[in-house]
Amino acid sequence: MRIFIVLMLLVSTTAYSQKKRKGLDVVSNIDVKVLAMKPLGNNSLAKDLQPFYGFGFGGNLMTPINFGVGLDYSELFSNVKYGSQNLYGNLGSPRMTVFDFFLTHRENISEDFMVEEMAGFSYYRYTNLYLDKSEKLKDHAMGFNLGGKAIYTLDGPQQVFAALKANFYYGNVYNENTQIQKYYSRSTFLSLSLGYRYNF
């Protein structure tokens, strides 16, 4: 979390200094959001867990040609479905930390309304608590993301947005049976988020 905050401050400071020195119309922003994320498909995360709910922070750096880069950080929480406790194992309190790095493109529909398309790389940290001892089971995964964002300008630098994103999850669970390995290490997430953005 500290690394994320420092990184966003550096990006914003760099963009501001470049804008002052070179006169470029470079825009940086930060946003906060709440989101819901649903695992999909025939896999353990989709079959055994309830949807994830949580919050997130993010930021973008947009160039004059409406292409840019962005970084999102999200913390999401879930529960094991009732009746799936034995299938899921001696674990509880699923938690997912997601870092999304992406390229983005903006389309200005009107003076107050715009859309952004996103595509990029994702890193996941997935943790569970053992029910009979105070230890965590941790898993790290990689993947990619695709999504879009509808943005409405309120006043000046303030905006609100709704975003829909698909995240593809590739974990590192190993099993000699490839079907079992795929069941426990692959998933697709579909998320919906609502948020507030401030432009600099």
Percent of the chain whose predicted confidence (pLDDT) is above 70: 85
- Sign for the CA dihedral angle at 130, 135, 100, 148 comes to positive
- Asked if pLDDT for residue 16 goes beyond 60, the answer is no
Distance CA 139, CA 130 (A): 14
Distance CA 191, CA 144 (A): 14
Place 25 in a pLDDT band, splitting at 50, 70 and 90: confident
Task: State the average pLDDT for the chain.
Answer: 87
Distance CA 35, CA 170 (A): 21
Domains of the chain: 2-199 (2.40.160.20)
Distance CA 190, CA 45 (A): 12
- Asked if pLDDT for residue 2 goes beyond 70, the answer is no
* Of 124, 15, 127, nearest in space to 61 by CA: 15
Q: What is the pLDDT of residue 86?
A: 64
Q: What is the pLDDT of residue 10?
A: 45
The full DSSP string for 167-183 is: EEEE-----SSHHHHHH
Percent of the chain whose predicted confidence (pLDDT) is above 90: 63
pLDDT digits (tens, 9 = 90+) for 35-72: 999 999 999 899 989 999 999 999 999 999 999 999 99
Q: What is the pLDDT of residue 1?
A: 53
Task: Considering only residues 132 and 168, tell me which one the structure prediction assigns the higher pLDDT.
Answer: 168
Is residue 164 within 8 A of residue 133, CB to CB? The reply is no
3-class state of residue 5 by DSSP: helix
- Sign for the CA dihedral angle at 172, 175, 176, 182 comes to negative
Place 31 in a pLDDT band, splitting at 50, 70 and 90: very high
Whole-structure pTM value: 0.83
